Amino acid sequence: MKKQIVAAAVAATMSAVALADISITGAAKVNYTNIDTEGAAPDTNKFTQEMDLKVKGKSGDTEVVINFGGGAFDGDTSDGDGTYTASDDAGSAMGGDNTMNVEDAYVTTKIGDVSIKTGTWDNGNNELRASSRNAGKLQATTSIGSVDLGFLASSAGASSEEFTVGTSLGGVALSYTQKQTGETVKASTSFNGVNVKYLGLPSDTANSDRDYIEVSTKVGDMGVKVGSASAESATSLDGDTWLGDFEGNSSGSYALSNDQDILGIELSTSMAGNKVTYRNISVDGVSGEDTDINKFIVTRPLASGATFELTYTDVDDQASGADSSTLDLELAVNF
């Protein structure tokens, strides 16, 4: 009888697990990087890896999401450098080891017409600022007619509170966020196949405004994108996107000083089953000594389900004279 009771309990547990709405997704990539710096010998060779796992459980309108990460970051070859430094792990819960650590853990639900998100998550990079991850955040969003409203706060204090309003006027998507120390302004539109977007970070601190404008389109089979990011004399660009890895300013892959601007041009097309991308990134030097970054990226999906990416980066740094070339070979998979 006891065995029957145990068997029934196990069966009930297994049934509950089987019926639970749980999904697991993830990604992994391994990189080999060779860096040749002018005047330095020998070349630097590195093997690095990054593993991510997302577990999502759902019950009605409520979801629980936990993101795990492990392995050493490789500098994110999609956006700027192709090299690994300790700073690439900054802002995340994981270091450069092979352990899996919880990075994000949050709950999303609905209370009437209001969507709620609470917990810990990364707000992501953009062209002007680095990402941040704070514990104990609460986000509430809703819509009234064509107007979107949002509120964000964290246990960091009142200085972290943000109020956002967004709408669309005449085909232009607009968003304004009021913060304790400044604002965020976003605008985007499309016309005749041309996409235009604007991002501004006005600051209450003198000479600390930053802004970015991007224009993209297609010319035949060629994708064309031009982006310009600028910073005033008392602040510096801190983003980690296609323009380059400047996250952490002095600790990023390319350290930027106050008042430096960036101009980026990207051309992309498909060729023999490969996606081929060329980028030219020009960073204005404070004293007129510019840095030019040329990047060639070839991406190919493999029959195995993985993706192979070759990235070659050439850096001409007039300020330091430390010109370099980097070859990065990446094998990545999403599941």
Which residues have a Cβ under 8 Å from the Cβ of 29 and sit 6 or more positions away?
49, 50, 74, 330, 331, 332, 333
Residue appearing with tokens 């993209």: 216
We report the CATH number of the domain holding residue 56 as: 2.40.160.10
* 87 phi, psi to nearest 5 deg: -65, -20
* In a domain? residue 11: no
pLDDT over 80 (residue 277): yes
Q: What angle do CA 261, 326, 290 make, to 5 degrees?
A: 25
pLDDT tier, 100 (very low <50, low <70, confident <90, very high otherwise): confident
Mean pLDDT across the stretch 64-84?
Answer: 60
* In a domain? residue 101: yes
Residue-wise pLDDT tens digits, 249-261: 444 467 788 999 9
Which one is predicted more confidently, 285 or 57? 57
Residue-wise pLDDT tens digits, 230-273: 999 999 998 889 998 887 644 446 778 899 999 999 999 999 99
* In a domain? residue 291: yes
Token readout for 68 is 């795990």
Mean pLDDT across the stretch 90-97?
Answer: 42
Q: For 6, which DSSP code?
A: H
- pLDDT of 228: 97
* In a domain? residue 83: yes
Amino acid (1-letter code) at residue 4: Q
Mean pLDDT across the stretch 137-159?
Answer: 89
Which run of H or E residues covers position 193? Answer: none
Q: Considering the chain, what percentage of its residues have pLDDT values greater than 70? A: 81
- pLDDT of 134: 79
- pLDDT of 135: 79
- pLDDT of 97: 52
pLDDT tier, 85 (very low <50, low <70, confident <90, very high otherwise): very low
- pLDDT of 157: 60
How far apart are alpha carbons 13 and 81 in whole angstroms?
A: 49
Q: How many domains does the chain have?
A: 1
Mean pLDDT across the stretch 130-150?
Answer: 92
pLDDT over 60 (residue 87): no
* In a domain? residue 110: yes
**Complete DSSP assignment for 292-330:** EEEEEEEEEE-TTS-EEEEEEEEEEETTT---EEEEEEE
* In a domain? residue 22: no
Range of the domain at 177: 37-334
pLDDT tier, 159 (very low <50, low <70, confident <90, very high otherwise): low
pLDDT over 80 (residue 158): no
Mean pLDDT of the chain: 85
Q: Considering the chain, what percentage of its residues have pLDDT values greater than 90? A: 62
- pLDDT of 288: 67
- pLDDT of 266: 98
pLDDT tier, 173 (very low <50, low <70, confident <90, very high otherwise): very high
- pLDDT of 61: 93
Least confident of 36-50, 55-69, 133-147, 299-313: 36-50
pLDDT over 70 (residue 324): yes
- pLDDT of 320: 67
* In a domain? residue 30: no
Q: What is the pTM of this model?
A: 0.81
CB atoms within 10 A of CB 36: 15
* In a domain? residue 31: no
CB atoms within 10 A of CB 245: 25
Nearest to 130 by CA among 226, 215, 47, 254: 254
